[in-house]
Chain A
Amino acid sequence: MSKVKWAGLILGLIGFCLPLFVSFPGLSLAGHFAMSIFLLAAVFWMFETIPIYSTSILVILAEVILLSSQGFIDYSSTSYSPLSYTEFLSTLADPIIILFLGGFILADASVKYDFDKSMTRYLLRPFGSRTSMMMLGLMLVTGFLSAFMSNTATTAMMITVILPIVAKMDPGDPARIGMALSVPFAANIGGMATPIGTPPNAVVIAALNQQGMEVEFSSWMIYAAPLAIVMLLIAWQILIRLYPPAMEAISLNLEGKLKTSPGALILYATFAVTVLLWVTESLHGIKSAIVALLPVAVLTLTSTFQKEDIRKLPWEVLWLIAGGISLGIAMKETGLAEWMVGAISWDQFGYLALLAVFATVALTMSNFLSNTVTASLLIPLAITLVTSGILQGTAGMMMIGLVIALGSSFAMILPISTPPNAIAVSTGMLKTKNMITAGLIIGLIGLGFILLLSMIYWPYLI
């Protein structure tokens, strides 16, 4: 075990024990236990002492033991009425988890039948062979795919597309760096556009649902997709200015046929119908999590997606999301979130300043931490601000949720910021300092746009 992990282990255990021995005025007994769990999770997530998904499961286990009515602590003489253990366990099958399951199955089936590659070839054709236009094409296609597939898988697929292009470039051509950055950046940005684009969106939407606030698939897209599109264009401009292509044009082989096996055809149809139903949720009112069962059912009952494929799904990502959701429940139910928020006199902040604080903290944290972890740690506090009246009602709640989810997706300074960034740096085409420069500019512009939207766009829609 590395020194960092050891430090995390020790700090995590100290954090866990602290509330057991120190009494914080104004915090209930249950709140103390919730704080133990919160500190342990936060430290383990930050230091990655154990894999982040197993910290999530540990959170759920600790909550069942310490905070549920079936647990070991007797709360009969306190004001906290313990939740049933099923409340914590059922986060593993939360509607948002089912929505992601549907998304995962569509994405993995697409990989299985090379639908992602076929779509890429087809969608890239109109962009021609001018280097700068091709880069725009790569970014828009990457962004589009990563709105529905995992950012990581989309990046990996696109890397297989750009490696042959880059191989034809002169080793000193700055566009090599630009191109290697364009893919992960576009994947990070594309993930913002839909609820299933990236896990932080799930954590935020689940927390809003807990407050009785339904977030439709289509409304999320109306809030976030315009930002994603504008930022893709801005990121493209930044990259071609920072790394102007030396070669005017590049040839790219886009030959290849769409698979037409029965399985592939079933997949295309299911994909089209599911996405159509998702984006039109506001018209027909069928919840996106219910629609998500459609690909799960159709693709498995037709054997398009088989047992071995099911086993290969990224289940640990679902655990990670569930851990975040259940931590939020514990913090809210025990009064911990309210107590933590109460420590700062937020009413001195203006409404915009408050959003700016959360956006900045989310952006900063998730440059170093997993985006999902960032959202999991911040959203319970943010929600509490709304319920305690500092932010106003539904619109306030939705906006602070958006600010946290989108802010954490704009973190792309370092290789460790997101897996797509790590892949890009691993190709050896760029140095970390290239990523820091471009990532910092895009992150700051993104932050500015989030705040702009919360003044001139979101308030009129929510």
Chain B
Amino acid sequence: METKIYILVVEDEPEVLDAIVRDISTFESHFVIEMADTAEEAREIIQSIFDDGNEVGLILCDHVLPGDNGVELLVEMQHDPQTESTQKVLITGQAGLDETVRAVNEADLKHYIAKPWEKEKLVEIVKDQLTEYVLEHVSNPMQFMAVLDGERIAEQIRKGKSVTDN
């Protein structure tokens, strides 16, 4: 069976969670979108994804959550070899400067999205981050050309990284 790549969305407000998932539904043809409303639940989901032999390509995480906050979750993921390569994006209205700096320095934060977001912008960011992920971690990124950044993927093939004449 082929490895599935997950997009994990962590957000405690159900309406916001729904809105994010709806906005990025175009990626569902090639990725699995999974939702969690606390850091605790996110951990469990991540574990079960890996137990099934799949991977987490991208996490879109709110900062203010009941229990552990988003930045804590991202820093923890960065220290776990399984999720170190996951592209980490913070999507929030209320993270302070200190916490944001911590996410950049300790969780290798890839992007900060301030609420409210525009759909096009969110889709663009998700596309960029997933492209980054598949170019780095998937042996044959060609299969994602239609839904991600086709030009970047073609450019990598031009440089002979994944496909050659046969």
Q: Please list the residues of chain A having a beta carbon within 8 angstroms of any beta carbon in chain B.
A: 52, 108, 111, 116, 150-153, 155-157, 159-160, 163-164, 191, 198-199, 312-314, 316-317, 320, 370-373, 418-419, 422-423, 426-429
Contact = CB atoms under 8 A, between A and B. Distances in A.
A152 B164 contact: yes
Contacts of A370: 166
Contact of B157 (A156, A163, A191, A371): A156
Contact of B158 (A157, A320, A418, A427): A157
Contacts of B158: 111, 116, 153, 156-157, 160
Interface in B102-158: 142-147, 150-151, 154-158
A52 B166 contact: yes
Contact of B165 (A108, A150, A163): A150
Contacts of A111: 158-160
Range of interface residues on B (Cβ < 8 Å): 10 to 19
B145 A426 contact: yes
A428 B146 contact: yes
A314 B145 contact: no
Among A52, A152, A198, A373, residue most surrounded by chain B Cβ atoms (within 10 Å): A152
Contact of A423 (B147, B151, B154): B154
Given A312-B160, A314-B160, A427-B154, 18 more contacts: A108-B160, A152-B163, A152-B164, A156-B163, A159-B151, A159-B154, A160-B155, A160-B158, A164-B151, A191-B165, A316-B164, A317-B165, A317-B166, A320-B166, A423-B142, A423-B157, A426-B144, A427-B146
A410 to B, nearest CB: 15
Contacts of A419: 163-166
Contacts of B165: 150-152, 191, 198-199, 314, 317, 371-372, 418-419
Contacts of A156: 154-158, 163
Contacts of B156: 156
A163 B151 contact: yes
Given A111-B158, A152-B157, A427-B145, A163 B150 contact: yes
A164 B150 CA distance: 10
Given A156-B157, A423-B154, A423-B157, A150 B164 contact: yes
Q: Is the interface of A mostly helix, strand, loop or mixed?
A: helix
Contacts, number: 87
Nearest to B144: A426
Contacts of B160: 108, 111, 150, 153, 312-314
A159 B166 contact: no
A65 B160 CA distance: 34
A108 B164 CA distance: 12
A345 to B, nearest CB: 34
B141 to A, nearest CB: 9
Contacts of A429: 146
Contact of A371 (B144, B147, B166): B166
Contacts of A418: 165-166
A315 B145 CA distance: 25
Contacts of B142: 422-423, 426
A159 B150 contact: yes
Closest 8 CB pairs of A and B: A428-B146, A156-B157, A156-B158, A370-B166, A159-B154, A426-B145, A314-B164, A157-B158
Contacts of A372: 165-166
A116 B163 CA distance: 18
A316 B160 CA distance: 12
A199 B146 CA distance: 28
A320 B165 CA distance: 10
Contacts of A155: 157
Nearest to B155: A160
Contacts of B146: 426-429
A153 B160 CA distance: 7
Nearest to B152: A160
A152 B165 CA distance: 6
Nearest to B157: A156
A418 B166 CA distance: 7
A160 B159 contact: no
B69 to A, nearest CB: 39
A6 to B, nearest CB: 14
Contacts of B145: 423, 426-428
Contact of B147 (A52, A160, A428): A428
A392 B155 CA distance: 47
Contacts of B159: 111, 153, 312
Contacts of A422: 142, 163
Nearest to B1: A2
B151 A160 contact: yes
A152 B164 CA distance: 6
B51 to A, nearest CB: 21
B166 A426 contact: no
Contacts of A164: 151
A428 B143 CA distance: 9
A317 B157 CA distance: 15
Among A198, A199, A426, residue most surrounded by chain B Cβ atoms (within 10 Å): A426
A81 to B, nearest CB: 35
B37 to A, nearest CB: 33
Nearest to B164: A314
A370 to B, nearest CB: 4
A163 B152 CA distance: 11
Interface in B5-46: none
Contacts of A427: 145-146, 150, 154
A418 B163 CA distance: 11
A160 B164 contact: no
